[in-house]
Amino acid sequence: MKKKINQLLNIIMGSFLGVFIGSGLYKYWHFRQHPDLYAMQSAPWYTGIWINGLFMLVLLAACMTGKVILMEKVGIRKKAALIFGIMFLTLTFIGGCYVLDNHGQVNAGYAVVPGVWAMICFAYYRSGKHD
């Protein structure tokens, strides 16, 4: 049963990633073909890609968390470290998008601080000094 759920999560993650890449490429192509349509908007043409990317990132993090929960032969501390690492990595990318969206006018700590915590969690997961 766990193997089937793991395969289903892999299919879901691959589908989300494929849809995101395809829709992003289409939006870029549409912008290149019809730039006047996007000149009328108050938001940049890539705003929809940012929103879709962040939504996809959260869904991928949820699927990865499900995959971690299904892992066998891994202790509870290592699972917790991996789940927290995934959550902090997601926050790192969201913070990076926030900094880029504001053209670097906000503090880069929105991306750096969760990134440091993600590295700490992943290092704890990879070390063999605990269960």
Same domain, residue pair 56 and 100 = no
Under 8 Å between Cβ of 131 and 78: yes
pLDDT at 129 over 70: no
Domain that holds residue 83: 74-131
pLDDT value for 2: 86
**Same structural domain for residues 6 and 29?**
yes
For residues 47 and 51, give the distance between their C-alpha atoms in angstroms, rounded to a whole number. 6
Are the beta carbons of 75 and 127 closer than 8 angstroms?
Answer: no
Give the confidence band of 74 by pLDDT, cuts at 50, 70, 90. Answer: confident
pLDDT in tens, 89-113: 999 999 998 998 888 899 999 999 9
User: Domain check: are 66 and 78 in the same one?
Assistant: no
**Full-model pTM:** 0.77
- Whether residue 21 has pLDDT greater than 80: yes
Q: Of 70, 101, 117, which marks where a domain is finished?
A: 70
For residues 25 and 79, state if they share a domain: no
Say if residue 65 is in the same domain as residue 93: no
Predicted pLDDT at 117: 96
Distance CA 46, CA 28 (A): 8
Q: Are both 104 and 64 inside the same structural domain? A: no
Bigger pLDDT: 101 vs 65? 65
pLDDT tens digits, one per residue of 24-64: 999 999 999 988 888 888 888 888 898 999 999 999 999 99
Q: Which residue has the higher pLDDT, 128 or 51?
A: 51
Q: Does 131 have pLDDT greater than 60?
A: no
